[in-house]
A and B are shown apart, each in its own frame.
Chain A
Amino acid sequence: MFVWNLIVVQGMGCYFASDHCSTRMTDQDQASSVARKRPKSVTTSDDEERLSKKLRLSQNPEDSKPSLKSKPIVASYAPAQRQSHPPIQTSRSVYSYERLNQIEEGSYGVVFRAKDKQTGEVVALKKLKLDEEKHGFPITALREINSLMTCRHENVVRIREVVVGDTLTQVFIVMDFIEHDLKTLLSLMPNPFLQSEIKTLTLQLLRAVNHCHSHWILHRDLKTSNLLMNNRGTIKVADFGLARRFGDPVGVGGMTQLVVTLWYRAPEILLGAETYSTPIDIWSVGCIFGELLLHEPVFQAKGELEMIGLIFKLLGPPTVEDWPDFEDLPLTRTLNIPPPHPPTLRQKFPYLTASGIDLLSSMLTYDPELRTSAEQALHHPYFTESPLPKHPDLFPSFPSLAAGEKRRKAFESPSAPQRAKGQTEYDYV
């Protein structure tokens, strides 16, 4: 039995930024920049418009030439064009927030729940670990902040700002506070998610991943503990601590192989591939999809070798036919490859429909070239067959561990009246 707990935390319902993103690399694909949509401004005020009229230079295009002696800078001003751009502004102080409670502590830093003193909104503050940095501001933290700012989306946790403390080593990322992370939620939920709910969650996850990939960002650490979920059935991808930009071709000078939590790590990274790209995130999505179905992680290995073994067991060992590059990977020769056998996906997921199995195996495909993309997966028939994805509003809500809420105890209803001592048995009054 769930205790249906209706909690509404302020400051969470802001999804307006979803179409408010940019990229620098896709510029090339879009020759016609005519007639772009402009979201309404947050910054330009009437005052500025008035100023702009005053400042506008009245130059006639026909009879003037660029002259050497023009006056020093004043601005002509196109308010309409400027509206979509945020202003240049300095970081606020962390003292604009009131600390509430600590949510978690990881290797990257501590996360607090805090309240904006001005607006009263509840947010999450993530303190970056900056001590003992030999190379200035850590590039990983830069990537995290930049990725979050680039990938604004309904299913990516929203970064509000970055604030600083008194010294140069105190930097905090301010994000929307979200009640749950999927890992804790899964472990506390008495019953697994329904098929319809799993479809909704997987779709949301795929949308977020598709968005990141189309903005040239690899997440590189997708797992259930990095997926946050609010009480209105929406998940948000969080923790871009390992994220980075990629290009086509992928990375100059190669990229590190120390990415992705082991259980969600794609086979090409396990086998030491020097270049990898978006398919590694899709593999992780496949693992998460499987975890939602099984109610426990699909591959629970203690080491990399065991991990490879588990993958081979579930999918059958790879052959040169289904993964031509397999034999050329650095670590392949060091492996003892078991005799071939067919995949055991069906046995592991006995209650999944045929198209569900098809989606899962398309995400857990050995060859990264053949693995499905987020965009393809979004159109998979699994999502349009019965039961249809459940509307997020119909999701149950749960008490939030992060906000320090506990499950309400079962009612202690008063018991039936008892006869007072000393009263006679025949007292009918």
Chain B
Amino acid sequence: MEPDVAPLATLAQIQETPSARDGIPSELEEDLRAYGAKLIQQAGVLLKQKQVAMSTAQVLFQRFWYTSSMEKYGIAEIGMGALYLASKLEECPLRMRDVINVYDVLIQRSRQSTSSRDFKYEPMSYFSQDYYDMKDILIIAEMQLLKRLGFDVHVTLPYGTLINYMRVLNLLEDTKACQMAWGYLNDALQTPVYAIYPIPVIVCASILLVIRHLKLEIPSSQEDSPSWWDLFDAPFEDVWLVANLVVRLYRPRSQSDQNRVMQLLTKKDVRRWLDENA
């Protein structure tokens, strides 16, 4: 197998992200990353886009925050740019207007999430200034993604690797296990793991979660024989950490925590929050 050349963050970047340097607490950054990625997935579903494009977009989105700060770029604009860019990369380009309309819905829905009224969507008119503003934002966001990632937008997706590993572990027939592992891989897109770990580690983490969840029996942890993750070249502590990061997504959150990210979609929102909480 040829080595995977997808770029990964350096230790220095992981230790102190650009957002952290601008005073954004790591927990908030984590939440914003997760929410931004979720928006990409939702927009993709609404646009009936292929999952490969959504996944690629989310990986680019996660990478972006290792070179750029959330104080300078908003998660909505970058997410929108990432989805638009990834659709070109995966040879299934989207119309700019469709992307903008869908993001407009999602942004309005987030904004209204705190009010008690039912969600009411007001579409923008065809030639409105809002549309042209959004269009400029989208073009600039796409360009910034390219520029701030050094144009290295090569993304390796985990799905093929998962199928191989499941086959090696004789789990390919177990539809439930496969489905679940696939789901964990998709959920992991909301965490930064695709920007900090190579694919085998992430795939092993998803399998580990499935094995524990379904209480499957798999030869491992014998004193003298190697465990199954060794077979796939994944160090256990890395696998363990990725599994933890994924599981963290499901922890119970307070209502205020959940509402907070929905109001911080743009850099202006984030700056205001920083001023208020300084």
Could you say which of B101-109, B114-122, B138-146 contacts chain A?
Answer: B138-146
Instruction: Provide the A77-98 mask, 1 if CB < 8 A to any CB of B, else 0.
Output: 1100110111111110000000
When A78-B238, A251-B91 are in contact, do A84 and B154 touch as well, CB less than 8 Å? no
Name which residue of chain B comes closest to A30, CB basis: B1
Partner of B192, one of A73, A77, A78: A73
CB–CB A73/B201 < 8 A: no
Count contacts on B: residues with CB < 8 A to the other chain.
Answer: 78
Instruction: State the CA gap A23–B157 with chains docked (Å).
Output: 10
CB–CB B146/A137 < 8 A: yes
Any A CB within 8 A of the CB of B131? no
CB–CB A82/B8 < 8 A: yes
Q: Which residues of A are found within 8 Å of B96, using beta-carbon distances?
A: 135-136
Could you say which of A161-169, A196-204, A328-336, A392-400 contacts chain B?
Answer: A161-169
Instruction: State the CA gap A139–B3 with chains docked (Å).
Output: 26
CB contact list, B159-197 vs A, under 8 A: 160-161, 163-164, 167-168, 192, 195-196
Any B CB within 8 A of the CB of A249? no
A25, A38, A52, A136: residue with the most chain B Cβ atoms closer than 10 Å: A136
Q: Which residues of A are found within 8 Å of B201, using beta-carbon distances?
A: 78, 81
Could you say which of B39-47, B228-236, B265-273 contacts chain A?
Answer: B228-236
Name which residue of chain A comes closest to B235, CB basis: A78
A201 vs chain B, min Cβ distance (A): 26
Partner of B240, one of A59, A77, A168: A59
CB–CB A73/B5 < 8 A: no
Name which residue of chain A comes closest to B25, CB basis: A72
When A22-B6, A48-B10 are in contact, do A75 and B155 touch as well, CB less than 8 Å? no
Q: Which residues of B are found within 8 Å of A66, using beta-carbon distances?
A: 209, 212, 240, 243-244, 247
CB–CB B7/A75 < 8 A: no
Closest 3 CB pairs of A and B: A27-B160, A162-B151, A84-B3
A sample of 11 inter-chain contacts (CB < 8 A) reads A27-B164, A58-B237, A66-B243, A70-B244, A72-B30, A81-B201, A81-B233, A81-B238, A84-B4, A87-B7, A149-B5
**In the complex, given contacts A37-B3, A59-B241, A72-B26, what are 6 additional A-B residue pairs having Cβ atoms less than 8 angstroms apart?**
A51-B12, A73-B192, A78-B238, A87-B10, A88-B7, A136-B96
